[in-house]
């Protein structure tokens, strides 16, 4: 019961990151937000690695290359696009589109790792993609077919592709590194890359202009949505297995839509509800098959 409670809280923390990110993206640039979040998170994660192993484990040449790729895709590219997208579109809509990641990971696994999809997972992929199209087009699928997708929608789709790449690359490195080490090092590397972008963007000015609520949102994303969420999710994977753990996390878009409605006043539209239902159903099929 305690494990499930932690997983539901993790889903809530990750959903809250969309709301917190939406708030702070209206005041700070995407690189500044991402660096402040992951710079703090990397310090905490590396401290946890040092506490657990006594030292920071050394990587061989192959592991260094893979960890660099993890940092470039899952931390740098994902978050630069994520926070820019949140400055352009609603947090609830963004969360539903991001929730299609398992479908794209399943496709990538079939292409690159020759994993069998099967008809159930294939149906899940189709439902997820169709649901995302409904959300992105606000119910007008002709817009998607005609290429009428805005920059915010395009960026959040880029987040999905970046996270899918991160997850597929992670399948190789997790064979030789623990999840904690792999994530901690990739977050640290991604933070260094984000620091360069944040400096070009005007990090000092952003830090001075940030309000107390902005800093609270950044600390929340670093501590709860990144460090605590990561630790609890992998504890859940170890305790009850990846399939059942992932099923709890699949409710992130549901929590995000509700939080965005309650805290940001974002509307609950028919297209959003329908798209979320399709994506949730598709993700369930993709994850449980």
Q: Compute the distance between CA of residue 142 and CA of residue 134 in angstroms, rounded to an integer.
A: 10
Q: Compute the distance between CA of residue 97 and CA of residue 137 in angstroms, rounded to an integer.
A: 11
Q: Where are the alpha helices (DSSP H) in the chain?
A: 2-25, 30-53, 61-70, 78-86, 91-98, 101-112, 118-136, 141-145, 151-173, 179-201, 203-209, 212-222, 229-240, 242-249, 252-259, 270-288
Tens of pLDDT, residue by residue over 181-193, are: 989 999 999 999 9
Q: What confidence tier does 144 reach under pLDDT thresholds 50, 70, 90?
A: low
Quick one: pLDDT at residue 2?
84
- Residue 3 pLDDT more than 60? yes
Query: Tokens 């949730």 — which residue?
Result: 280
For residue 283, how far is the Cα from the chain centroid? 15
Retrieve residue 248's tokens. 């709890």
Each domain of the chain, given as residue ranges in start order, spans: 2-288
DSSP state for residue 261 in the 8-state scheme: I
Quick one: pLDDT at residue 173?
77
The model scores a pTM over 0.95: no
Q: How many CB atoms lie within 10 A of CB 93?
A: 29
Q: What confidence tier does 143 reach under pLDDT thresholds 50, 70, 90?
A: low
């Amino acid at each position: 019961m305690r494990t499930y409670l932690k997983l539901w809280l993790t889903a809530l923390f990750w959903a809250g990151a969309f709301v917190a990110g939406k708030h702070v993206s209206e005041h700070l640039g995407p690189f500044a937000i991402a660096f402040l979040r992951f710079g703090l998170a990397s310090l905490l994660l590396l401290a946890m690695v040092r506490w657990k192993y006594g030292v920071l484990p050394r990587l061989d040449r192959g592991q260094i290359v893979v960890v660099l790729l993890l940092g470039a895709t899952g931390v740098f590219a994902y978050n630069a696009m994520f926070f820019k997208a949140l400055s352009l579109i609603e947090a609830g809509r963004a969360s539903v589109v991001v929730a299609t990641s398992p479908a794209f990971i399943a496709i990538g696994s079939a292409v690159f790792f020759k994993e069998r999809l099967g008809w159930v997972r294939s149906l899940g992929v189709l439902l997820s993609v169709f649901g995302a199209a409904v959300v992105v087009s606000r119910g007008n699928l002709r817009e998607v077919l005609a290429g009428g997708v805005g920059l915010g929608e395009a960026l959040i789709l880029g987040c999905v592709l970046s996270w899918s790449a991160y997850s597929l690359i992670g399948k190789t490195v997790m064979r030789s590194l623990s999840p904690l080490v792999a994530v901690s090092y990739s977050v640290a590397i991604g933070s260094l890359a984000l620091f360069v972008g944040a400096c070009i963007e005007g990090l000092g000015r952003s830090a001075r202009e940030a309000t107390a609520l902005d800093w609270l949102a950044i600390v929340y994303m670093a501590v709860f949505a990144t460090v605590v969420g990561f630790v609890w999710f992998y504890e859940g994977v170890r305790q009850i297995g990846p399939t059942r753990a992932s099923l709890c996390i699949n409710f992130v878009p549901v929590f995000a839509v509700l939080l965005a409605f309650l805290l940001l006043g974002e509307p609950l539209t028919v297209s959003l509800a329908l798209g979320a239902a399709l994506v949730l159903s598709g993700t369930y099929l993709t994850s449980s098959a």
